[in-house]
C-alpha cells in the first residue's frame, strides 16, 4: 500500500529523474500536470539530458528548474560524462530535496543512483527482487502499460489526482513568427503531409528505402510532400527525394526542434519512422501513422486512437503494401477531421 505524498507536510522541493529523449518526456507530461495541480506551490526540478533545458522552459507551467544529467553507467538513453558526476552528485546532495521521484525506468540501476541524492523521501518504480528504497512509495514497474499510463499509474499510486491523459505541446508567440518565415523561405503550401524516414537504430532504418514509394503515392493525391528530420537525416531524405518521381520539399536539418513541432502541428498528416516524431504529432493533435519495426506500438499509443495508427510488422511490408496501409489510414483520418 502506498503512502500519500500529499499528507502533511507535503513536499516543497521535488526532483524528478527523466533523462530520456523527447518522446519519453512528452509522454510524461500528463504525470507532470497532475503533480503540479496537486502541489501548485512546490518547486519541481527535472533532471534530464542537456536538450531538456528547453523542454523545461516550454513546460514551465509544470516544471520550474532543470539540472543537466551527466549520465551514469548502465542507464540507457544517454552518454556518460563520468568526470562531471562527482560535481553533479555534490550539487544534488546540497539541494535538500524533500522528494526524489525515479521516473527513468524500472529501477534496477536508477534507484541506487537516485538514493545517492540525499532527499528526505523517495518514490518511483522498482523491479520486484531488485533494490527498492521504499516499498510504500515505489510501484512495481508496469511494463505492459502504455508509456503515458505507466507514469499516471505512479502518480495515482502516490495519491495524486489525475488531470487527464492527453498530451500537449505549448507554443510561444515567436514560434508562429518563425513558422511564417519558414513558409515564406521554402514556399511551403497551406496543406502538406510530413514524412519522417529517419530513425536512431539500424533496425528502424530498414524501412527507409520504402518511403520514396509512400511519398510518391501521397503526392499523387495532390499533397505537398515535406521530408523532415535533423541534420543527421539530411543524407537519407536527399536520397529519398532523388528516388521520388514527384517533387518534394526537403526540410531535414533546416528546422530547429521548435520549428519542427509547429510544422507538424499544421500538417494534414504525418508518416513517421520514429517514436519522438509520433509523440510530437500526438501532442499537437495531428493525425499520424508510426511505422514500427522493433518497438512495441502499444507502448507509445495514447487515447487518441482515431488520429494515431501503427504498423506493428511494418518491417515485413513491401513498399506497395506500406503505401496501401498508409493510404487506408489517411482516408480514415481525413474522414475523422471532416
Tell which residue, 20, 33, 26, has the closest CA to residue 79.
20
What percentage of the chain carries pLDDT values higher than 90?
Answer: 59
Q: What is the pLDDT of residues 122-165, one digit of tens each?
A: 999 999 999 999 989 999 999 888 889 999 999 999 999 999 99
pLDDT score recorded for residue 32: 98
Tell me, yes or no, whether 58 and 193 share the same domain: no
Q: For the chain, how many structural domains are there in total?
A: 2
Tell me, yes or no, whether 134 and 206 share the same domain: no
Residue 196 lies in a domain: yes
Tell me, yes or no, whether 89 and 28 share the same domain: yes
Cα–Cα distance, 266 to 194 (Å, whole number): 10
CATH number, position 21: 3.40.50.2000
Cα–Cα distance, 22 to 280 (Å, whole number): 8
Tell me, yes or no, whether 120 and 233 share the same domain: no
pLDDT score recorded for residue 306: 45
DSSP secondary-structure letter at 2? Answer: P
Residue 96 lies in a domain: yes
Q: What is the pLDDT of residues 248-300, one digit of tens each?
A: 999 999 999 889 999 999 998 898 877 788 889 999 999 888 776 545 555 55
What is the average per-residue pLDDT within 32-41? 96
Provide the whole-model pTM.
Answer: 0.89
Q: What is the pLDDT of residues 202-253, one digit of tens each?
A: 554 546 668 888 899 889 888 899 999 988 888 889 989 999 999 999 999 9
pLDDT score recorded for residue 335: 61
Q: Which of 116, 131, 157 is the last residue of a domain?
A: 157
Q: What is the pLDDT of residues 48-95, one digit of tens each?
A: 999 999 999 999 999 999 999 999 988 865 567 888 999 999 999 999
| Residues spanned by the domain of 249 | 173-337
Looking at the predicted structure, is the pLDDT value of residue 315 above 70? no
Tell me, yes or no, whether 150 and 233 share the same domain: no
The strand pair at 192-196 and 248-250 is best described as: unpaired
Amino acid at each position: 500500500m502506498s503512502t500519500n505524498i500529499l499528507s502533511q507536510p507535503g513536499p516543497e522541493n521535488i526532483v524528478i529523474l527523466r533523462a530520456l529523449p523527447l518522446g519519453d518526456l512528452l509522454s510524461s507530461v500528463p504525470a507532470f500536470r497532475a503533480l503540479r495541480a496537486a502541489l501548485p506551490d512546490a518547486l519541481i526540478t527535472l533532471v534530464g539530458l542537456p536538450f531538456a533545458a528547453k523542454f523545461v522552459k516550454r513546460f514551465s507551467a509544470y516544471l520550474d528548474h532543470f539540472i543537466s544529467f551527466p549520465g551514469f553507467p548502465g542507464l540507457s538513453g544517454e552518454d556518460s560524462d563520468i568526470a562531471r558526476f562527482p560535481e553533479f552528485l555534490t550539487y544534488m546532495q546540497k539541494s535538500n530535496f524533500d522528494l526524489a521521484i525515479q521516473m527513468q525506468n524500472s529501477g534496477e540501476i536508477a534507484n541506487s543512483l537516485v538514493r545517492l541524492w540525499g532527499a528526505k523521501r523517495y518514490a518511483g518504480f522498482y523491479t520486484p527482487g531488485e533494490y527498492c528504497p521504499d516499498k510504500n512509495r515505489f510501484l512495481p514497474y508496469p511494463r505492459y502499460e502504455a508509456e503515458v499510463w505507466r507514469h499516471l499509474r505512479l502518480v495515482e499510486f502516490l495519491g495524486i489526482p489525475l488531470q487527464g491523459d492527453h498530451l500537449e505541446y505549448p507554443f510561444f508567440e515567436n514560434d508562429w513568427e518563425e513558422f511564417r518565415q519558414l513558409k515564406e523561405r521554402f514556399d511551403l503550401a497551406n496543406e502538406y503531409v510530413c514524412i519522417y524516414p529517419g530513425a536512431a537504430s539500424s533496425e528502424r532504418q530498414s524501412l527507409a528505402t520504402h518511403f520514396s514509394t509512400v511519398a510518391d503515392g501521397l503526392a499523387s493525391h495532390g499533397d505537398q510532400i515535406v521530408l523532415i528530420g535533423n541534420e543527421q537525416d539530411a543524407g537519407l531524405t536527399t536520397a529519398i527525394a532523388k528516388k521520388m518521381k514527384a517533387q518534394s520539399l526537403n526540410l531535414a536539418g533546416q528546422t530547429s526542434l521548435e520549428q519542427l513541432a509547429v510544422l507538424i502541428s499544421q500538417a494534414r498528416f504525418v508518416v513517421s519512422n520514429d517514436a519522438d516524431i509520433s509523440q510530437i504529432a500526438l501532442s499537437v493533435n495531428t493525425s499520424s501513422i508510426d511505422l514500427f519495426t522493433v518497438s512495441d506500438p502499444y507502448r507509445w499509443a495514447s487515447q487518441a486512437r482515431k488520429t494515431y495508427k501503427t504498423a506493428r510488422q511494418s518491417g515485413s511490408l513491401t513498399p506497395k503494401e506500406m503505401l496501401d496501409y498508409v493510404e487506408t489510414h489517411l482516408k480514415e483520418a481525413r474522414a475523422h477531421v471532416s
